[in-house]
Amino acid sequence: MSVQHTGPDSLLTPSEVASLFRVDPKTVTRWAKAGKLSAVRTLGGHRRYLESEVRDLLAGVPRQRPED
Amino acid sequence: MSVQHTGPDSLLTPSEVASLFRVDPKTVTRWAKAGKLSAVRTLGGHRRYLESEVRDLLAGVPRQRPED
DNA sequence: ACCCAATCGGGTAATTTGGGCG
DNA sequence: CTTGTCCAAATTACCCGATTGG
């Protein structure tokens, strides 16, 4: 039996994230490129986003920023 | 004499790998055919993947590529 | 031997990527 | 500076019937 890890990092596709934010998928890509959103890459280069992080962002939770 | 392996060689099914990457199981098959992912074959021809390798790939660890 | 979900194959739509432009 | 759109190329998703796994 395998135990579920503490961090269930379910992934979202670009279009799914885009729909949640009511934005074009390309915009989500820009956020990832800008480091505003962390992304996992498929072996083909497509991005998958952490659902937990997206939910936090949608809820208005500010992302951990490098010290100013 | 020991036949000890250097690492845990637990195997994952195509659908398990697909879930981890949030892709279709067929896509995982293409990765294997493309040599991006090493696969073990069952006697019936079904593929099984190395958990350790999959975890490395998910973490962004580039695969050791055959010499060009 | 039976059941049924999963994984073969192939083929064809739908997404995604990246760059550049407005 | 951020977002939306156009384009071509690459990657991925869904369709089928047949075989395999447990």
B57 in A contact zone (CB under 8 Å): yes
A25 within a domain of the structure (yes/no): yes
CB proximity under 8 Å: A 21-40 to B: 40
Residues of A in contact with B27 (CB under 8 A): 42, 44
Q: Which two tokens stand for residue B14?
A: 């195509």
Q: What mean pLDDT value characterizes chain A?
A: 86
Q: The domain that contains A24 carries what CATH number?
A: 1.10.1660.10
Q: In what order do the strands lie in the sheet with B47-50?
A: B11-12, B47-50, B39-41
The helix (run of H) or strand (run of E) holding residue A54 is: helix A51-58
pLDDT tens digits, one per residue of A17-55: 999 999 999 999 999 999 999 999 999 999 999 999 999
Q: Where are the beta strands (DSSP E) in A1-68?
A: 11-12, 39-41, 47-50
B43 within a domain of the structure (yes/no): yes
pLDDT tens digits, one per residue of B5-32: 455 679 999 999 999 999 999 999 999 9
Task: Give B19-60 as a 3 state SS string.
Answer: HHHCCCHHHHHHHHHCCCCCEEECCCCCEEEEHHHHHHHHCC
Residues of A in contact with B57 (CB under 8 A): 43
pLDDT tens digits, one per residue of B37-51: 999 999 999 999 999
Q: Tell me the residue range of the domain where A54 lies.
A: 11-59
User: Residue B2 pLDDT > 80, yes or no?
Assistant: no
Sole residue written with tokens 């939770």 = A61
Number of domains into which chain A is organized: 1
A41 within a domain of the structure (yes/no): yes
Q: What angle do helix axes B14-21 and B25-33 make, rounded to 10 degrees? A: 100
B67 within a domain of the structure (yes/no): no
A3 within a domain of the structure (yes/no): no
How far, in Å, is the CA of A18 from the C1' of nucleotide C16?
A: 13
CA A67 to chain B, closest CA, distance in angstroms equals 25
B36 within a domain of the structure (yes/no): yes
